[in-house]
Amino acid sequence: MKLDRRAALGLIGSGAALPGIGMAATQAAASFVHGVASGDPTERGAILWTRVTPADPAQQAAIALRWHVAESAGGKPVESGTAQARPARDFTVKVEPRSLKAGHDYHYWFELADGTPSPVGRFRTLARGAAADAVLAVVSCQLYPGGFFTAYDSIAALDRIDAIVHLGDYIYEYGADGYGAEIGQKIGRGLEPAHGIVTLADYRTRHAHYKGDRSLQAAHARAAFICVWDDHETANDSWIGGAENHQPATEGDWAKRKAAAMQAYFEWMPIRDPQGNDPWEAINRRFDFGDLATLLMVETRLLARSEQAGFKGETPGRSEVAAVLAERNRPDREMLGEPQRAWLEKELAASVKAGTPWQILGNQVVMARVNGPDLAKLFGAEKAAAMVATLEPSVRAQVELAQAGYRAGLPFNLDAWDGYPAARERLYQSIRRAGAHPLVLAGDSHAFWANQLADAQGNAIGVEFGTSSISSPSIGDMLPKMPIGDLLQQASPEVAFCDQRAKGYILLTLTREKATGDYIAMSTIYAPKAEARTLKRFSLPAGATRFDAT
């Protein structure tokens, strides 16, 4: 089901930013327990977000508040306005200043009618015209019970940061006994609600629970987020018509669940609402960092994606492999969909024509060809058998099945672009027609990657920097005795680097001459305090399709 803007407004009420404090607004006692956030920066402003928590849980009237933007913390406001926190939007508020200077840092805050202030946040407007550099933090996958969000403390402490690019899995839908539960119990990271989330109230509560995390609040207060969702904002391995973790018999209609998830997402995230009659799923959009870089955010989950040929965590049996491969290789299978692909080609071509040095794709899942490692081929049958023998019996059976699938031609992850090879080739054709050599950003995999992208004929397309998770466990964590990253690198010509255990983020620095990706790993996610270190650094000269590692 696609919701146009009119239908959505019927569900959630009118826009968050209002021209004045309406007659129905009250001066009820309230607070700002979820902090502040900014997102989707422009040359003249950004989306500013907060949530007003009424002292009375039964509050039904809108709550009046004001917002201010200044050039320094506590400085004289250069733009102010009024808004209402309305129950129809779960008392969340989004406003947008529109008269700020390009390429400047600003501070902002909200205040209630009684003078109660929110925390102060910061953001930087996009540059206009000549821009010497830009600094982006690239993040993904934050499982609350999986660990503390220590990477966000590192990001919040950065001296320079223009924006934080979040590639999805901002929340997870599982209950307290689901994915990562054992870790959460050990470190005291529980969930609200405790059950798996399905309804609008569930999704709202889960977003509120995440926004209560102090490290995440600090990152939101530090810089504007540029976000897209991946699957877990709705349900695991989602696609246009359903999800692996959605059972209609017990969880109801997928379209209703998806609509509830999207409503909560747009309420609780600092993202610009779709314009006109665009569906809520269409969150592909463009950001220009002056004349230096064009960032194109794409949507690969809910808008057009075909059902996976095989779900993550499900290893096809030997008799099923042929059918899975046949489904995977169908030419009509989609990832972006034709309208979004055409939009992407047009925007890439416009950026190239303008002489912009960098075209960056904010993409959810790994794009490179990643072959499943055939251990016998890499190490010989005897050594491979010895490696598998060290695993727990239940894990060993899955690894043996996976090995049979890899030998038959299955890729490492059918939920990534490897599960949609025809759609990937259509995308690469668009990239070539646009004359671009993009830098592709990827999340989802809970691992760090540096990949050299090529089409089916071996022609260089671009480079991919894949970020690990903030806290979500990886296959490397589940198989600690196997060097998974090294095995994938050896098995896959496009993979130059893979680390399946480190958690953290990528700090991407762009200049006119080169792009530098610093892969930042945190010393721990199992305690609230951690140290950051540079795990790896990759440099890509402007216009090149191969990078240098240091």
Residue 7: pLDDT band by 50, 70, 90 thresholds?
Answer: very low
Share of the chain above pLDDT 70, in %: 94
Right CATH number for 127-372+410-549 from 3.30.1490.100, 3.30.70.1520, 3.50.50.60, 3.60.21.70? 3.60.21.70
| Residue 329 in this model has a pLDDT that exceeds 70 | yes
Q: Which CATH class is domain 1-125?
A: mainly beta
Q: What does the pLDDT look like over 151-177, one tens digit per residue?
A: 999 999 999 999 999 999 999 999 999
- Rounded to whole angstroms, the Cα distance separating 73 from 70 reads 7
pLDDT band at 241 (very low <50, low <70, confident <90, very high): very high
Helix or strand run (H / E) with residue 449: strand 448-454
Model confidence band, residue 429 (pLDDT cutoffs 50, 70, 90): very high
Mean pLDDT of 111-133: 97
Q: Domain extents for the chain? A: 1-125, 127-372+410-549
Average of per-residue pLDDT across 526-535: 98
Mean pLDDT in residue range 388-415: 87
Name, in order, each residue with C-beta under 8 angstroms of 299's C-beta and a sequence gap of 6 or more: 228, 229, 281, 282, 283, 284, 336, 340
Give the residue, 315 or 1, on which the prediction is more confident.
315
Give the pLDDT band of residue 25 (cuts 50, 70, 90): low
- pTM attached to this predicted model: 0.94
pLDDT at 478 over 70: yes
Dump pLDDT digits (tens) for 190-240. Answer: 999 999 999 999 999 999 999 999 999 999 999 999 999 999 999 999 999
Other Cβ atoms less than 10 A from the Cβ of 58: the count is: 5
| Largest Cα–Cα separation, the chain | 78
Label residue 27 by pLDDT band (50, 70, 90).
low
| Mean pLDDT rounded to a whole number for the chain | 92
| β-strands 47-51, 36-39 pairing | antiparallel
How does pLDDT run across 267-285, given as a tens digit for each residue? Answer: 999 999 988 777 777 899 9
Are β-strands 293-297 and 358-362 bridged in parallel, bridged antiparallel, or unpaired? parallel
**89 vs 29, 59, 85, 169, CA distance in Å?**
18, 13, 7, 22
Q: Residue 513's pLDDT is what?
A: 97
From CA 336, how far away is CA 427, in angstroms rounded? 8
Inform me whether the pLDDT recorded for 320 exceeds 90. no
Whether residue 299 is predicted with pLDDT greater than 70 in this model: the reply is yes
- Of the chain, the percentage scoring pLDDT greater than 90 comes to 83
- pLDDT on residue 281: 78
Q: What is the pLDDT of residues 436-462, one digit of tens each?
A: 999 999 999 999 999 999 999 999 999
The 10 Å CB-count burial string (b at 16+, else e) for 377-407 is eebeeeebeebbeebeeeeeebbebbbbbbe
- With a cut of 60, say whether residue 502 has pLDDT above it: yes
